[in-house]
A and B are shown apart, each in its own frame.
Chain A
Amino acid sequence: MRKPKVIVLRTAGTNCDNETHVAFKMAGADSELVHINELARDEKFLKNFQILAIPGGFTYGDDIASGKILANEIKYKLNADLKNFINSGKLVIGICNGFQALVKAGILPGINSGTIESTLSFNDSGSFIDKWTYLKKETGNRNTETRCVWTKGLKETIYLPIAHGEGKFIPRDSDVLNQLRKNKQIVFKYIDNPNGSIDDIAGICDTTGRVLGMMPHPERHVLGTQHPRWTREGLKERGDGFMIFKNGIDYIKEKL
C-alpha cells in the first residue's frame, strides 16, 4: 500500500515544522511541508492529503494572541476545505501553536462546530516555559479509553516537553467541561500541572476523535537522545511521542 500522505502546514512563524515532518516520515508517512499560501492560492490542495498537521511555532508572532491570526486565516481561507477534510474521515493534529489555532478557530473541541468553546491563555507563571512533563492518557470514567484515534495503545503515562507561554486550557464554562468529559474528548492530562490548565488538561480531541490538539510536543520525543535523562536511564530507540505519529499513520493505512 502507498504511504499515507501528510501535509505539515507552515506559515510565517511556524517553527516546529521540520521535526514534525521528520517524525511523520519516521512513522512511515509520505510527508510534505506546505505553506498556507499554497493552499489559499490553489497551488496545493488539502484534499490530496490524508493527515493534516499544524505544527508548533509563533505564527504571525502570536501577535494579538497565540495562534489567533492563523485561526482567523484558517476560518476565512480554508474553512470549507478543512470541514470536508475532517468529515471525510481524515486526521488532524495540532501541536502547541497548532492546538492554539484549532481551538481559536472553533474546530476544537467542536462540540458545537464553529463556536468558540475554550481557549489557551497565558500560563499562570506569566512567562514562557520549556519543561518536560508527564502526561496521563485519559481513560474516562468507566475505564474506557478516550475516543481519540491518535492514542490507541499508548502507555498510560508518557513523557513529553512543553514549550509555551500561552498553554493554560480554559473551557468556556462547566457545561463545556462536562461535555468534554462525557464525550471522552479529554486526551491528555498533566500529572504536575505546569501552566494552570483547568482540570490539568493538556490535550483534547474533537467529537469524532480524529482531530487531536495538544500543548506538549510529541515530535520532540521520537528519538532516545531527546529524553532529558537518557544518560541516566539508558538510551531507548524511540521516544514516547513516536507512537502518536505511528498511530496516525496506522489509522490511515487501516481505514482509508
Chain B
Amino acid sequence: MEWKIEIRNRKGVFNPLGSGVKKDILDLGISGVKKVNVSQVFIIFGDITESDIKRIAGELLVDAITEEYLLGTEGLAGQRAKGRVVGIAYNPGVMDPVEESARKAIKDMGIYGVKSLRTEKKYFIEGKITENDFRNICEKLLYNKVIQHVVKERKARRAEHSNGYKFKLITVDLLGADDKRLTKISRDGQLFLNLKEMAQIKNHFKKLNRNPTDCELETIAQTWSEHCGHKTFRGVIEYKEDGKRKIIDNLLKNTIMKVTSELKKPWCVSVFKDNAGIIRFDEDDNICFKVETHNHPSALEPYGGSGTGIGGVIRDILGVGLGAKPIMNTDVFCFGLPDTAHKNVPKGMLHPKRIMKGVVSGVRDYGNRMGIPTANGAVLFDERYIGNPLVYCGTVGIMPRDKSFKAAKCGDLIVAVGGRTGRDGIHGATFSSGELTHESETVSGGAVQIGNPITEKKLTDTLLKGRDKNLYTAVTDCGAGGFSSAVGEMGEDLGAEVDLEKAPLKYKGLSYTEIWISEAQERMILSVPRENLKELMDIFKKEDVEAVVIGCFTSNKRLKLRYNGNVVCDLDMEFLHGGIPRFERKAVWAKPAYKECEIKDKKDFTQDLLKILSSWNVCSKEWVIRQYDHEVQGQSVLKPLVGIENDGPGDASIIRPKFNSKKGIIISNGINPRFGFIDPYWMAASCIDEALRQVIAVGGSLNKTALLDNFCWGNTDKPDRLGSLVRASFGCYDIAKTYGIPFISGKDSLNNEYSVHGESIAIPCTLLISAISVMDDVTKAITMDLKEKGNLIYIIGETKDEMGGSHYNLINNCIGNNAPIVDAKKGLKIFNRISEAARLGLLRACHDLSEGGIACALAEMAFSGGFGIEAELKEAPYEAKSSKAKRDNIILFSESNTRFIAEVRKQDKNKFENLMKGIPIGLIGQVAGKKDLKIYGLSSRKIVDTSLDKLKEAWQKPLRW
C-alpha cells in the first residue's frame, strides 16, 4: 500500500523557504509572483495500516506547532489552487538522504512494515506569471534534471530498480578492432583513453590471446585516467619559450616535488605518496592537509557536486596513513559573474548565481553536518568560469604519529565500510578527465551524486575507534573510481581478490562492473587481519555502520574479481599500474602583449577605491562565511571574520587542535588568476607569496610552513595551455625553493574547458596555493583590524609600478603587462622580521596587501577596527623605474608582493624600527579617532577622503544576498 503524506505550514506561519524561493524568482527577472509556499511530501510504501500512518504523520513527520498534514490525495491542491503547483522528486538511482533516517525513526516507533520511503517537494506559486515564466522558474530554479524531475501523477513508481540483475559476462572486442574502432570504443564507453593507450591495452590482451571483459577495460581506464594518473604532469613534455626548446621528463618531479626533496625538512612526514601530505605537529601528533577539486560535477549539479566534493576530501583525510581526524575545512570557489544576463548563459549551463548558491549550500550542508569547521576560503569571479566553475575543497586532519603509515598484508580481509553501492557516480574519474559540452548533463548525468553526510559522520566516528585499537593495517577512501581504485591501489604490491556480489547495494539490478566502478559516496576500504575482524565489526555494529568483507589481499600481484563465482576480471597489477604509455606532449609559452593601460592621473581616487571595494573578488564574503559553521569543535582562535563588529576580512584562520596546548595551525591560501592572464610564472610566484604573507600577517612564521598546489587548467592537450602550466610550475619551484617552503601534496584538474558550437572556452589558468603552518603559541596571534587611536601605521615592503592584472586596471577595463614579481631573497627577510615583531608583541594589527593595494588594505583595516586613518603616500617605500611611474594611483593601487601594513603602539616605535633595520618600511600615518579615511598623495594633496561607513557599505553591499 502506498501512502502519501503532505506536510505544509499552518496558515499564518512564516515560511522562510517559500520567501527564499520568491526572492530567487525575482533574480530570474520574473516579477509577478506574490507568494510561494513549499510543502514536503512523503511517499511511504509498505504494509502499514491507516492508524499507523496517522501516527507516523502526526507524531513524526509533522511539527505540531507550525505544520499540518494531509493524508492521501485529500484536497492536496484544493486549497491552494489559486496558483500553480509543481512537485519535484529525485530521479531513480539518486539517493534520497531522508529515506534512511526516516525509516529508522519509524522503526523506533515500533512500526516495521515500511518497504520504501521517498520524498518530494511541492511548490505552490501564486501570482501573475505566464506559462513560459512558470517553466523557467521550474527549470532554472526548482529542479535540476540531472538529479530531479517533475512529478507526473499516477506514474508507476520504483519500477526502475525492482528488476534483478541476470549475470552475463561481457567482453569487448579489442583484438579485432582497428584504430578507428578503438577510438570509437573509448568514446562510446566514456573511457577517455587516447588511441595510444587503447592500442597498448589491445597489445596486452593480444599477448594473452583473449579480449578484455568490460570490467577489465573499465578498471584500466579508471586507473589510467588523468584524474587518478596525472599523466600530464608525469609525462614527457617538449617545452618551447622564446625560441628555446627544453625536454621535461616528469614536470611534477622536476618542479613541485623537487622543492621538497631538495629542502629535506625533517618535519615533513609523508609527502606526495598518500591521500594527503603529512607534517609533524608536536611530540604526539602529526597533521595532514589535502585540497581537491570537484569542478565538473559542480557545474552540472552545484549542490550535490560541491557536497560530494567536500565529502570526498574529508575521506582523503580519513584515509591518509591509518586515518586522521578531520579538524578543519577550507573552500575556494571560482564562478562566472553573478550579474550575467540570463540570455548570455551558454546553453546547457546553469546561471553563475544559481551555481554559486548551490555550491555554497552544498558545502554548508555537508561540512556543517560533519561537524568540521569551514574556517578558510576564497571566492573569485571571472566571466570565463561561466561554463566551468571551480570548486576547491580542502580538509586538515590530525593523527597520532604512529598512525601515519599503512601497509596491507597478504591474507588481510578487504572490508567495505560505510555507505552502500548504487548506480550513482558511474564514470566520475573518466568524466572529469574530459571537456564539458552542452550534452554533458545528459551523457554524464550518472557522474553526479547527492551525498549523505551523516553516513560519513558515523563512518568517521567508528573508523577512528578502530584505528586507535590497531584493528586494521591499511585504509583508503573510495573516491573517483570507487572500489576499483581503492582496492587497486591498496593491493598494487600484493594482489587482491574480490567477490563483487558481497558488496551491499542500495537497490537490486547493478551489474558486476557497475558495482566495481560505482563512485557512490561515503565508502572506505579497510585491510583487516582476520584475527581482528570480529572486534572491528563490533565497533561498526555498535553505531549502526554497515561493514562487509568483500575479499582479501593475496600475494600473486593479480587483481581477480568474481561475481557469484564467475571470474569477471583477472588483471596483472604490474600492467594495470605500470603499463600506461607515457604522454609525450608539446608545450609553448609566449608572453601575451596586452594594450598598455592609459589611465590618467586624477585629483581624487575615492570613487576608484569604492569601486574596487565593491568588485566581486574584493567585496565581503560574509554571506558565504556565516552559512558555514566555522567554529564547531571549539578550536577556532582566529575566525574568518574579525574586528570590532566581527565582520572584517581576516588574513588567515588559526585553530588550536588541542584544548590543553597553545600550539596551533594556521591555514591560508593564495589565488589570483588575473596575474596569470599576463604570466603564469609570476602568478604562481604571487600565489605563494600571498599564502605566506597571510601566515605571517596573523603572527605565524615560515618555520614549519608547507604548501599545497592545486592546478586547474584548460585542456593541456593544447600546447599553449600546457605551456602556461609548465611556466607556472617553474614559478612554483623557484619561489618556494628560495623561501624554503616545501610542497607536501597537490592535485591537478586539467580539462576545464567548455565547448559550445564547436568553440572551446578555457577557464583562466587558476593555481590555488594553500599554506599550512604550525604556530607555537596561538596567544601571539594578530588580527588586521585597527585597535587603538593614536597608534602608528607602517607600510613594510616596497611598492613598485606593477599594475598588470591589478583590480585598478580591472575597474578601468584593462589588463596591462607588468604583473607583480616576487623577490624572494628580499621577501624572506621581510617575512622573518615581521614574524619576530609579532613574537615580541610589537604589532597591534597587521594586514597583508593584495587586491586593491595600499588603498584597499587601509580601508579594510579602518572599517574593521572602527577607527579612521590619516596617511601620507609619500612616506611609502616606493621603487619607481622612471619618474613618470611615480604617481599616486600606482602607489595607492599597485599590487606588488611581500608588503604589509602594521599598526604599532607609539611606545614601541624605536623597538619596531630597530628591528626593521635594512628593510623598506615607511611610517605613513596614524590611527585617527574620527571615522574617516584620509590619504594624502605625493604632493600632499588629499586624494582619498571618505567615511568608514561609506567604505564598508561599498564593500558589504554586492554579496548581501
Binding site for B on A (CB under 8 A): 10, 12-16, 18-19, 22-23, 26, 35, 37-38, 56-58, 60-65, 68-69, 72-73, 76-77, 104, 116, 118-119, 121-132, 161, 163, 170-172, 196, 219-220, 222-223, 225-226, 228-229, 231-232, 235
Q: Which residues of B contact A26 (CB under 8 A)?
A: 659
CB distance A131 to B59 under 8 Å? no
- In angstroms, Cα B41 to Cα A250, docked, is 48
Q: Which B residue's beta carbon lies closest to that of A70? A: B105
Shortest CB–CB separation between residue A15 and chain B, in angstroms?
2
Shortest CB–CB separation between residue A215 and chain B, in angstroms?
13
Which of B60, B629, B659 lies at the interface centre, i.e. has the most chain A CB atoms within 10 A of its CB? B629
- In angstroms, Cα B779 to Cα A35, docked, is 35
Query: Which residues of chain B from 6 to 21 have a CB within 8 Å of any chain A CB?
Result: 13-14, 16-17, 19-20
Stretch at the interface among B125-133, B217-225, B362-370: B362-370
Shortest CB–CB separation between residue A148 and chain B, in angstroms?
22
CB distance A61 to B632 under 8 Å? no
CB distance A231 to B626 under 8 Å? no
Q: List 18 A-B contacts (CB under 8 A).
A: A10-B461, A13-B454, A15-B457, A16-B371, A16-B632, A22-B659, A56-B632, A58-B371, A61-B97, A63-B97, A69-B101, A72-B109, A124-B16, A196-B14, A220-B632, A228-B646, A231-B638, A232-B783
CB distance B364 to A128 under 8 Å? yes
Query: Which residues of chain B from 769 to 789 have a CB within 8 Å of any chain A CB?
Result: 778-779, 781-783, 785, 787
Shortest CB–CB separation between residue A107 and chain B, in angstroms?
15
CB distance B110 to A228 under 8 Å? no
B637 within 8 A of A: yes
Query: Which residues of chain B from 601 to 656 have a CB within 8 Å of any chain A CB?
Result: 625-634, 636-639, 641-644, 646, 656
Query: Which residues of chain B from 562 to 617 have a CB within 8 Å of any chain A CB?
Result: none
CB distance B787 to A122 under 8 Å? no
CB distance B783 to A231 under 8 Å? yes
- In angstroms, Cα B369 to Cα A57, docked, is 7
- In angstroms, Cα B60 to Cα A219, docked, is 30
Q: Indicate which residue in A23, A68, A172, A232 contacts B65 across the interface (CB closer than 8 Å).
A: A172
Knowing A37-B542, A37-B543, A57-B371, the reply to whether A18 touches B633 (Cβ < 8 A) is yes
B102 within 8 A of A: yes
Q: Indicate which residue in B13, B454, B626 contacts A58 across the interface (CB closer than 8 Å).
A: B454
Shortest CB–CB separation between residue B901 and chain A, in angstroms?
16
Q: Which A residue's beta carbon lies closest to that of B66? A: A121
Shortest CB–CB separation between residue A55 and chain B, in angstroms?
10
Q: Which B residue's beta carbon lies closest to that of A15? A: B371
CB distance A128 to B659 under 8 Å? no
Q: Which B residue's beta carbon lies closest to that of A235? A: B779
- How many chain-B residues does the 8 Å CB contact rule pick out? 65
Q: Which residues of A contact B102 (CB under 8 A)?
A: 63-64, 69
- In angstroms, Cα B212 to Cα A246, docked, is 68
B452 within 8 A of A: yes
Q: Which residues of A contact B957 (CB under 8 A)?
A: none
Shortest CB–CB separation between residue B542 and chain A, in angstroms?
6
CB distance B542 to A128 under 8 Å? no
Knowing A225-B779, A235-B779, the reply to whether A161 touches B631 (Cβ < 8 A) is yes
Shortest CB–CB separation between residue A18 and chain B, in angstroms?
7
Shortest CB–CB separation between residue B700 and chain A, in angstroms?
14
CB distance A125 to B16 under 8 Å? yes
Q: Which B residue's beta carbon lies closest to that of A116? A: B64
B453 within 8 A of A: yes
CB distance B637 to A225 under 8 Å? yes
Q: Which residues of A contact B60 (CB under 8 A)?
A: 64, 68-69, 72
Q: Which B residue's beta carbon lies closest to that of A123? A: B16
- In angstroms, Cα B454 to Cα A87, docked, is 33
Q: Which residues of B contact A119 (CB under 8 A)?
A: 63-66
B443 within 8 A of A: no
Knowing A126-B17, A232-B785, the reply to whether A35 touches B634 (Cβ < 8 A) is no
Shortest CB–CB separation between residue A59 and chain B, in angstroms?
8
CB distance A163 to B631 under 8 Å? yes
10 A-B pairs with the lowest CB-CB distances in the bound complex, closest first? A15-B371, A126-B16, A19-B634, A119-B65, A60-B101, A63-B101, A126-B20, A61-B454, A63-B98, A58-B369
- In angstroms, Cα B631 to Cα A129, docked, is 12
B242 within 8 A of A: no
Total of A-B residue pairs, C-beta within 8 Å: 178
CB distance A229 to B644 under 8 Å? yes
CB distance A69 to B105 under 8 Å? yes
- In angstroms, Cα B639 to Cα A131, docked, is 11
Q: Which residues of A contact B13 (CB under 8 A)?
A: 121
- In angstroms, Cα B19 to Cα A231, docked, is 39
Which of B19, B105, B634, B638 lies at the interface centre, i.e. has the most chain A CB atoms within 10 A of its CB? B634
Q: Which residues of A contact B61 (CB under 8 A)?
A: 64
Q: Indicate which residue in A68, A131, A196 contacts B626 across the interface (CB closer than 8 Å).
A: A131
- In angstroms, Cα B659 to Cα A216, docked, is 20
Q: Which B residue's beta carbon lies closest to that of A33? A: B461
A12-B458, A229-B646 are known contacts; what are 8 more A-B pairs with Cβ within 8 Å?
A: A12-B454, A56-B632, A61-B452, A64-B102, A124-B14, A161-B631, A225-B656, A235-B779
- In angstroms, Cα B646 to Cα A76, docked, is 43
B108 within 8 A of A: yes
- In angstroms, Cα B780 to Cα A216, docked, is 28
- In angstroms, Cα B67 to Cα A65, docked, is 11
CB distance A220 to B631 under 8 Å? yes
- In angstroms, Cα B542 to Cα A184, docked, is 41
Q: Which A residue's beta carbon lies closest to that of B786? A: A232
Knowing A61-B453, A129-B626, the reply to whether A15 touches B787 (Cβ < 8 A) is no
- In angstroms, Cα B656 to Cα A22, docked, is 14
Shortest CB–CB separation between residue A238 and chain B, in angstroms?
12
Q: Which residues of A contact B97 (CB under 8 A)?
A: 61, 63
B82 within 8 A of A: no
Q: Which B residue's beta carbon lies closest to that of A172? A: B65
B347 within 8 A of A: no
Q: Which residues of A contact B636 (CB under 8 A)?
A: 226
CB distance A170 to B65 under 8 Å? yes
Q: Which residues of A contact B781 (CB under 8 A)?
A: 225, 231
Which of A10, A13, A132 lies at the interface centre, i.e. has the most chain B CB atoms within 10 A of its CB? A13
CB distance A130 to B628 under 8 Å? yes
- In angstroms, Cα B59 to Cα A68, docked, is 10
B179 within 8 A of A: no
CB distance A231 to B642 under 8 Å? yes
Q: Which residues of A contact B368 (CB under 8 A)?
A: 58, 128, 163
CB distance A116 to B65 under 8 Å? yes
Q: Which residues of A contact B20 (CB under 8 A)?
A: 126-127
Q: Which residues of A contact B646 (CB under 8 A)?
A: 131-132, 228-229
Knowing A12-B543, A15-B632, A19-B633, the reply to whether A129 touches B63 (Cβ < 8 A) is no
- In angstroms, Cα B637 to Cα A128, docked, is 22
Q: Which residues of A contact B643 (CB under 8 A)?
A: 229, 232
CB distance B782 to A130 under 8 Å? no
Q: Which residues of A contact B453 (CB under 8 A)?
A: 13, 58, 61
B184 within 8 A of A: no
Q: Which residues of B contact A121 (CB under 8 A)?
A: 13, 63, 65-66
- In angstroms, Cα B656 to Cα A52, docked, is 27
- In angstroms, Cα B108 to Cα A68, docked, is 12
B530 within 8 A of A: no
B402 within 8 A of A: no
Shortest CB–CB separation between residue B579 and chain A, in angstroms?
43
Knowing A64-B101, A72-B108, A170-B66, the reply to whether A128 touches B627 (Cβ < 8 A) is yes
- In angstroms, Cα B454 to Cα A241, docked, is 28
Knowing A130-B629, A163-B632, the reply to whether A37 touches B65 (Cβ < 8 A) is no
Query: Which residues of chain B from 95 to 141 have a CB within 8 Å of any chain A CB?
Result: 97-98, 101-102, 104-105, 108-110
Per-position binary interface string of chain B over residues 57-75, scored 1 when its CB falls under 8 Å from any chain A CB and 0 otherwise: 0011101111000000000
- In angstroms, Cα B36 to Cα A43, docked, is 49
Shortest CB–CB separation between residue A6 and chain B, in angstroms?
16
Per-position binary interface string of chain B over residues 679-700, scored 1 when its CB falls under 8 Å from any chain A CB and 0 otherwise: 0000000000000000000000
- In angstroms, Cα B102 to Cα A15, docked, is 20
CB distance A232 to B108 under 8 Å? no
